[in-house]
């Protein structure tokens, strides 16, 4: 069984709005994306494809891959405008894989256990996402700022990555999506592509509350603490 991870680092980090893009900011002495790649190497994933901005490819080759001796990063490819364009670019360069794991480079605290739980779940239905039950009550709020609905919390899960798929399942779903116009669909994750464009069910794998996505500045100290905690175990 061959596993290939796609680590996404081609975003602009507009909500973070820092000079250095969030995926390259240093936490605990290394760029965020280094921690993400290292997690997949530790987990024994067979191959890693790094997706980055066109202008960052050379820098990543030198400062991320070579400087850290990441042996299993076999390709660095240029991403696209939307997250799904970046995923699609990676799918084009993966030739042989049984399972493809898609991971936000901005989630540096992912554990080996979570990675493998998504693979095991994907073996059951062909598609899996890491997720955790929401802790807060969630409200649906209209444009006037009025709460209009309170969905039953016990049915709500907060979705993370990796999102892991049998290779044919994710390829076929993406091909089908690109035959339509994806810009009209508000696609925010890969599981949505499979939900809309395939008959496969997406199985939830238990994620981890520490597997946060760095989005704004206040996520940085939390991620640093989680990484230190994991290293101390
Ligand atoms: N990503 C990507 N290509 C894009 C957009 C996002 O590879 N066109 C990656 C980001 O680098 C990140 C992950 O997908 O690792 C999750 O996206 P998000 O957290 O939304 O990052 P950004 O899009 O960079 O941030 P923002 O939405 O605040 O601009
Ligand atoms: Mg984004």
Report the atom number in ligand 1 closest to the C-alpha of 52.
Answer: 7
Nearest Cα neighbor of 200 from 163, 159, 165, 157 is 165
CA distances from 174 to 6, 94, 128 (A): 15, 14, 15
Write the pLDDT tens digit of every residue in 212-222: 999 999 999 99
pTM summary value = 0.97
What pLDDT digit, counting tens, does each position of 102-145 carry?
Answer: 999 999 999 999 999 999 999 999 999 999 999 999 999 999 99
Query: Which of helix, strand or coil describes residue 102?
Result: strand
Mean pLDDT of all residues in the chain? 96
pLDDT tens, residue by residue, 35-90: 999 999 999 999 999 999 999 999 999 999 999 999 999 999 999 999 999 999 99
**How many CA atoms does the CB half-sphere of 83 hold within 13 Å?**
19
83 C-alpha to ligand 2 centroid (Å) = 7
pLDDT at 223: 98
User: What residues line ligand 1, using a CB cutoff of 6 Å?
Assistant: 8-15, 23, 51, 79-83, 85-86, 104-106, 213, 215
């Amino acid at each position: 069984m061959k596993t290939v991870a796609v680590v996404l680092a081609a975003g602009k980090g507009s909500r973070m709005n820092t000079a250095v893009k969030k995926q390259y900011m240093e936490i605990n002495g290394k760029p965020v994306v280094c921690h993400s790649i290292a997690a997949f190497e530790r987990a024994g994933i067979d191959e890693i494809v790094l997706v980055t901005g066109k202008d960052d490819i050379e820098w990543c080759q030198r400062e991320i891959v070579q400087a850290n001796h990441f042996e299993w990063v076999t390709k660095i490819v240029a991403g696209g405008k939307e997250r799904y364009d970046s995923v699609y670019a990676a799918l084009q360069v993966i030739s042989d894989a049984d399972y493809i794991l898609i991971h936000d480079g901005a989630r540096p605290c992912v554990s080996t256990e979570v990675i493998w739980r998504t693979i095991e779940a994907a073996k059951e239905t062909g598609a899996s996402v890491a997720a955790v039950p929401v802790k807060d009550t969630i409200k649906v709020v209209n444009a006037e700022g009025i709460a209009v609905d309170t969905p039953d919390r016990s049915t709500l899960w907060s979705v993370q990555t990796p999102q892991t798929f049998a290779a044919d399942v994710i390829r076929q779903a993406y091909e089908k999506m690109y035959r339509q116009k994806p810009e009209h669909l508000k696609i925010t994750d890969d599981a949505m592509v499979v939900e809309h464009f395939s008959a496969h069910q997406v199985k939830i794998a238990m994620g981890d509350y520490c597997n946060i996505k760095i989005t704004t500045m206040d996520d940085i100290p939390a991620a640093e603490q989680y990484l230190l905690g994991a290293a101390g175990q």
